[in-house]
Structure 1
Amino acid sequence: MATKKKIKFSLVYRDMWQSSGKFQPRKDQLERIAPVIIEMGCFSRVETNGGAFEQVNLMAGENPNDAVRAFCKPFNEAGIQTHMLDRGLNALRMYPVPDDVRELMYKVKKAQGVDIPRIFCGLNDTRNIIPSIKWAKAAGMIPQATLCITNSPVHTVEYYSNIADEVIAAGAEEICLKDMAGIGQPAMLGALTKAIKTKHPEIIIQYHGHSGPGLSMASILEVCNNGADIIDTAIEPLSWGKVHPDIISVQSMLKNEGFDVPEINMNAYMQARTLTQEFIDEWLGYFINPANKHMSSLLLGCGLPGGMMGSMMADLGGIQTMINKIRVQKGEPELTMDDMLVKLFNEVEYVWPRVGYPPLVTPFSQYTKNIALMNLLTIEQGKGRFVMMDDAMWGMILGKSGKIPGTVDPELVELAKKQNREFTDVDPHTLLENALDGFKKEMDENGWDYGKDNEELFELAMHPEQYRAFKSGQAKKQFLADLQKAKDAKLGSKMSAEELAAFKHAKADALVAPSAGQIFYEFNGEGECAPCLEPFIGQKYKEGQTFCYLMEKWGEIVPVPAALGGKLVEVSAKQGAKVRKGDVLAWIERDDK
């Protein structure tokens, strides 16, 4: 058999963690594993930054600029290219970023050692991609424009090929086929790769496919047989599941097919595997949802990406409780979590075409899922669909984040008209005012240094809430409280209910309901779904400070004080729970105990 073209591999080490759990390895851990990844000898590229990487560093009380520089340095020295995920209009966060902050990002990331930004728009709107291509090139980076792959009547080979033509004309030097949910059909992906390569033979094509529904290996073979150049892979113990195929399997398959592929230093692979497991055992495993280790063909129908399954299951649990209370009142059987999961997937399938087939990737996967989730609740309440939609969900539908690929359902068009909401085709980035001057003023007033290559200024401008919490030290305290909560939960799984209660409450006082009613909390945390918000374990309260609110059956809202104050160690009554007088709402540990 004649040897086919050379195929290169990329290790998406950042995304391996993102698709498995909440946090990323620390700077010292990244420094330890980088030389081992290099020693494996099979990777031409490594993903070193991207969505959620910097936020979670800040949340853990660690400076992400130090982590990015430390992780990139050994790869830069070894001649291995580094790349990052870039959400286009949203850059490195969930909501839009002003032009001057986006432009600064490429200068900072190039200085920190990142070679390639993978620029994507969740709607495939080129207006959100092309400015970033120009800023990346000006900073000396290699712009990789991205096609967000999904499977709908709108998303055809012609549709994607036209987008590729446009971004290549704008200066993109590479194209990434980002199959974020793994639902791209292999034959379509092969045809698309061939179409792009035939017209643009000089353009590098990199394929990124998650394993979730099980199509990714077939897709890798198809894209390679049609001209792809680089394949994203993972390593154990964070391969497969909702993550990515393992390098060993991908290399074996392509080698057997006759492609020129690099060999793997298996001793180094096993060492990298051992180190990654060590990071999991030490602390990261406490934030990994076990469900993300499993593949599921159910994802083919709803198209939801694997990376958001953990948060989705948490939200679903909160809605399940509320729905089952309604069903019990109606004399109907309660729904299991499996029942809820099928209902949610079916509802996403219903909602998705009606909101115009937005590719289900951050943030539009979250918006679409949230609409479906709220529909399940309001349908059960007898109120119908599309009753509980916030401005972010509406913003997607109305075109404020970019052009929707398909057609919005007439029902939603009419509903928008009734609510005096207007559709727009304006270029999304023109809706934002430049913001760097304001952040410079804040740093000057606080006496904060702009950092090397303005990296600290960038960090504040990109992640203002998390950066302020990092600088104040509150982020580190909250992270340690979250970690302790997770450790206690794991310990509790090995204890009887009585032992766990005694362990948790030995030093804590019970906070009880002063009367019967429904509980509501007002906390400062972030959450995708208001009914599912829960307070932060570890948060401290002063004596007499309001802990929550109780709405009594006749409608009066009564503040419930945190008694003598202290640290919150457990919440017994969830958001919206109905309680009786004397029911325990929470346990608060006094500082003097």
Structure 2
Amino acid sequence: MGCFARVETNGGAFEQVNLLYGENPNIAVRTFTKPLNDVGIQTHMLDRGLNGLRMFPVPADVRKLMYKVKKAQGVDITRIFCGLNDVRNIIPSIKYALEAGMIPQAALCITFSPVHTVEYYANIADQLIAAGAPEICLKDMAGVGRPDMLGKLTKAIKDKHPEVIIQYHGHSGPGLSMASILEVCKNGADIIDVAMEPLSWGKVHPDLLSVQAMLKDAGFQVPEVDMKAYMKARSLTQEFIDDFLGYFIDPTNKHTSSLLLGCGLPGGMMGSMMADLKGVQSGINMMLKSKNQPEVALDDLVVMLFDEVEYVWPKLGYPPLVTPFSQYVKNVALMNVMQLLKGEERWTVIDPHSWDMILGKSGKLPGELAPEIIELAKSKGFEFSTEDPQENFPDALESFKKEMDENGWEYGPDNEELFELAMHDRQYRDYRSGVAKKRFQDELQRAKDAEMEKKGYTEEDIKKMKRAKAEPITALEKGQVFWEASFTSGSTPPAIGQRFSPEETFCYIGTMWGTFDRIPANFSGRIIEVCVKQGAHVNKGDVLAYIERAEILA
């Protein structure tokens, strides 16, 4: 397209999605960064500071290894943030990045509160630049930063540090981002984060075409966009969404909402939040019905949760609502809503991770805790911490090396497989065992079937449509079906979505002569339907399953 100086290629969400899909994130990162590196586009990734690429703290030796791995995989820039803006969690990553030869971009998590002033953020920027950060990102993850304040903050940093690159990252959720982009550019910002259709707008970034038009008209030097390439990339992205991603995107992600201004929640967590609310709605309504009280609609619950987040946030010390602290605050608020609807008190259910945030184990809160929260902690015998959060999480690489050695797993080029296990241990084990792939394929099939049912298709309609673009695999002779070479009653058929290549064995047929004949798949594709059970008796020509050809998938 000719308009991007850098492209995000890696981070916590990227890697965990790969693992949950049952694929190797290391292969994905190397594959994605190479063509960008080859044409001189810088690649950048997100680092959650103390939490690395996950939702909870990471030992220092694993954080350090991450930078060696990511540099070797072709990542140029790391955007380092701490949800609490605690420099103790950011500065070690600046050091690790510099040692590995990467560019450390230190982020300020932007929010709107009485304590998050221009002076507050400028002071943090001074410390991060002094620690070696050549770039500062204004990470307006919820899009609630006010344009005027963001402009003043940009100017304050640029006036004092004219050599430092400033990049603005603002989401569209509450609708302020276009005004914020114009303000930061007028005050010296160098790079603006944008998205492109069909993912832009809604809870994501403004679209690059709109941003380009606005800045070009205002007299800024902005690159031209190759529209032929833009339309091709747009089409490829839509194909990816239609293939499977779209089944997991909440439709409200495409909407903006001024309600986000009050609660300050980032748009990126709206999908998980809506899933939480849908999950508790039926239980809440059953409870209300038993008390002869009116039921609550989903929209009512959304407003109640937003109001409760707005209520609890200052009492919890104004942590910027970004991963993972947005989840912690939302979780506390959700539990409060449920307790209040039951007629009980607030604060009776707080999860351990939220307590770690409250007690200072994740870093220093920007504001003061409410007296009632302090008293609640004391009543439970909890102690507040002021020590460096990293001290709470000792080195752990040796234990993960031992696990890999015991399993006979290779550490991988540049120790990248060791890093994946150490960073995402549970997801990595599921990936290696194949459990993740099967789980994902099953979830995808259920999501597709649910979508078809929502459109009014019957189960028989869905089956016919699947078969219309599939090839049958038939029994070559009369006999009994066995799915695995063990020929036991416990053998299981292939999972829906499982891929086969021509030379692979599909199943075996036990004949009346006591032989077991191998049935090959004969072509590349994936299973969309299995028609017979283990041990079933079939005649020659009976359909065993339907498989979708690889050329159709492509």
TM-score (ref. length: structure 2): 0.83
State the partner residue of 1:65. Answer: 26
The higher-RCO structure (CA 8 Å, 6+ apart) is 1
State the partner residue of 1:105. Answer: 66
Kept after mapping to 2: 8 A contact 1:193/1:223: yes
Q: Which amino acid aligns with 1:438?
A: S
Kept after mapping to 1: 8 A contact 2:452/2:462: no
| Partner Cα distance (1:82, 1:349) in 2 | 36
Aligned-residue offset at 1:491: 1.4
Kept after mapping to 2: 8 A contact 1:88/1:132: yes
Counterpart pick for 1:96 among 43, 53, 57: 57
Counterpart pick for 1:257 among 218, 226, 230: 218
Alignment of 1:30-429 (within 5 A): 40-429=1-390
Kept after mapping to 2: 8 A contact 1:98/1:435: yes
- Against the structure 1 CA distance between its residues 591 and 323, is the aligned structure 2 distance closer, same or farther, given a 3 Å change threshold? farther
Cα offsets for 1:508-561 (capped at 9, x unmatched): xxxxxxxxxxxxxxxxxxxxxxxxxxxxxxxxxxxxxxxxxxxxxxxxxxxxxx
| Partner Cα distance (1:502, 1:370) in 2 | 41
Cα offsets for 1:552-580 (capped at 9, x unmatched): xxxxxxxxxxxxx99999xxxxxxxxxxx
Alignment of 1:485-524 (within 5 A): 485-495=446-456, 499-500=458-459
- Against the structure 1 CA distance between its residues 502 and 387, is the aligned structure 2 distance closer, same or farther, given a 3 Å change threshold? farther
Structure with max Cα Rg: 2
| Partner Cα distance (2:339, 2:533) in 1 | 40
| Partner Cα distance (2:355, 2:132) in 1 | 32
| Partner Cα distance (1:502, 1:415) in 2 | 57
Q: Which amino acid aligns with 2:423?
A: M
Secondary structure of the 1:264 match is coil
Q: Which amino acid aligns with 1:55?
A: Q
Identical columns (%): 70
Aligned-residue offset at 1:326: 2.1
Kept after mapping to 2: 8 A contact 1:319/1:373: no
| Partner Cα distance (2:350, 2:452) in 1 | 38
Kept after mapping to 1: 8 A contact 2:97/2:103: yes
Q: Does 1:456 align with 2:414?
A: no
State the partner residue of 1:577. Answer: none
State the partner residue of 1:469. Answer: 430
Kept after mapping to 2: 8 A contact 1:567/1:591: no
| Partner Cα distance (1:566, 1:372) in 2 | 44
Kept after mapping to 2: 8 A contact 1:399/1:423: yes
| Partner Cα distance (2:275, 2:39) in 1 | 41
State the partner residue of 2:439. Answer: 478
Q: Which amino acid aligns with 1:177?
A: L
Q: Which amino acid aligns with 1:346?
A: D
State the partner residue of 1:439. Answer: 400
| Partner Cα distance (1:358, 1:500) in 2 | 48
Q: Which runs of 5+ in 1 are unaligned?
A: 1-39, 505-564, 570-588
- Against the structure 1 CA distance between its residues 365 and 501, is the aligned structure 2 distance closer, same or farther, given a 3 Å change threshold? farther
Secondary structure of the 1:46 match is strand
Aligned-residue offset at 1:494: 2.0
Kept after mapping to 2: 8 A contact 1:44/1:80: yes
Aligned-residue offset at 1:319: 2.1
Q: Which runs of 5+ in 2 are unaligned?
A: 464-491, 497-531, 537-554
Q: Which amino acid aligns with 2:79?
A: R
Kept after mapping to 1: 8 A contact 2:442/2:495: no
| Partner Cα distance (1:405, 1:500) in 2 | 54
| Partner Cα distance (2:311, 2:221) in 1 | 44
Secondary structure of the 1:234 match is coil
Aligned-residue offset at 1:181: 0.2
Q: Which amino acid aligns with 2:336?
A: N
- Against the structure 1 CA distance between its residues 349 and 567, is the aligned structure 2 distance closer, same or farther, given a 3 Å change threshold? farther
Q: Which amino acid aligns with 1:222?
A: E
Cα offsets for 1:95-146 (capped at 9, x unmatched): 1000000000001000100000000000000000000000000000000000
Kept after mapping to 2: 8 A contact 1:304/1:360: yes
Q: Cα RMSD (Å) of the superposition?
A: 1.8
Secondary structure of the 1:490 match is helix
Aligned-residue offset at 1:381: 1.6
| Partner Cα distance (2:203, 2:405) in 1 | 44
| Partner Cα distance (2:193, 2:371) in 1 | 40
Q: Which amino acid aligns with 1:360?
A: L
TM-score (ref. length: structure 1): 0.78
Secondary structure of the 1:263 match is coil
Aligned-residue offset at 1:592: 6.5
Aligned-residue offset at 1:495: 2.6
| Partner Cα distance (1:103, 1:367) in 2 | 26
State the partner residue of 1:550. Answer: none
Cα offsets for 1:207-234 (capped at 9, x unmatched): 0000000000000000000000000000
Secondary structure of the 1:233 match is coil
Secondary structure of the 2:322 match is coil
Kept after mapping to 1: 8 A contact 2:438/2:495: no
| Partner Cα distance (1:357, 1:440) in 2 | 39
| Partner Cα distance (2:350, 2:332) in 1 | 6
- Against the structure 1 CA distance between its residues 592 and 336, is the aligned structure 2 distance closer, same or farther, given a 3 Å change threshold? farther
| Partner Cα distance (1:201, 1:474) in 2 | 51
Q: Which amino acid aligns with 1:87?
A: R
| Partner Cα distance (1:187, 1:51) in 2 | 31
